[in-house]
Structure 1
Amino acid sequence: MITADSSLDSIRKEALQRQARQRVDVLDEMRAVKNAVDRGLSQRPIADLLMTSQARVSRLLKAIERRGGDLGQEPEEIILRATAYDTDRKQLVHALQVFPYTFGEDAPYAHEGRIPGTWDQVVACRAQKMLSVEEFDQVRRAIGR
């Protein structure tokens, strides 16, 4: 909770934690939708079950489809959960050090951009200051980057 005497750093940290919790909640909601679909439920009953709208269930199903149906835990989620819930930072670094990363590569044809890998999620989280420079360097050294 923000108080009148909060430092700007603590206000920023609380905002980052709120945003991380919101993103984790969406991932958890996607898993709940997938679980219900796997049990044969259609969108309306899923919406009732999750106390949300059918339109939201439809959007979540499209997000699941964009991920190829794979909702396995990725580095971004590991970092988001640690940020949102103040997980021990040593545990976070260890989890990131042993993660089986993929690395981005150029798309097969010119002007098609780049195909990101899971390591790109770690880089993005560092840019958002969810990882300290020291934590990032420890992970980077452990994986040989």
Structure 2
Amino acid sequence: MITMDSSLAAMHHQALQRQARQRVDLLDELRAVQNVAKRNFNQRDIAEILVTSQAKVHRMLKAIERRNGNLDLDPEEIILRAFAYDTPREKLVADLKGVTYTFGEEARYPHEGRLPGTWDQVVTAVARGFLTETEFNEVRAAVGR
């Protein structure tokens, strides 16, 4: 494990913020593609409107399809947006307390493994350093976990 001084810790934090902004930007881009596609434009026209390539639009439409068209705001996005754009932590915790969570469950036969729920996104955020243990515990107490 690397021992970081304050300047390295600051660079690490900035790198995490860049990654969070990239993920949030991707979600915003997916929503834009979905909104234009709902108006029955073809991929080439969507690309022209959104100033991107047809190939990228194709990949994004496939990603939307894999999500069954569901691009609703979820706990992961709430956390990433707060981390990326320095939202006050109190607002983040309040927003997370207001979410209706789903919890992981075992996959049904013939599949194996575990299907994650939205609560897993909160747990993952703690492990990645986007949410503190104190914030997690406050949300957990409010959710009743």
For 2:71, the equivalent position in structure 1 comes to 71
Structure 1 residue runs of 4 or more that deviate by more than 4 Å after TM superposition: none
User: Alignment partner of 1:7: what SS?
Assistant: helix
User: What's the CA shift for 1:112?
Assistant: 1.1
Paired residues in the alignment total 141
Structure 1 alignment gaps of length 5 or more: none
Instruction: State the alpha-carbon separation in 1 of the partners of residues 136 and 9 from structure 2.
Output: 20
Spell out, residue by residue over 1:6-62, the C-alpha distance to the aligned partner (whole angstroms, 9 max, x if none).
611111110010000000000000000000011111110011111111111111111
Spell out, residue by residue over 1:44-89, the C-alpha distance to the aligned partner (whole angstroms, 9 max, x if none).
0011111111111111111111111011100000001001100010
Structure 2 alignment gaps of length 5 or more: none
Question: What does residue range 51-90 of structure 1 map to in structure 2 within 5 Å?
Answer: 51-90=51-90
User: What's the CA shift for 1:108?
Assistant: 1.2
Instruction: State the alpha-carbon separation in 1 of the partners of residues 60 and 111 from structure 2.
Output: 30
TM-score (norm 1): 0.93
For 1:134, the equivalent position in structure 2 comes to 134
User: What's the CA shift for 1:109?
Assistant: 2.3
Instruction: State the alpha-carbon separation in 2 of the partners of residues 6 and 50 from structure 1.
Output: 40
Question: What does residue range 104-119 of structure 1 map to in structure 2 within 5 Å?
Answer: 104-109=104-109, 112-119=112-119
TM-score (norm 2): 0.93
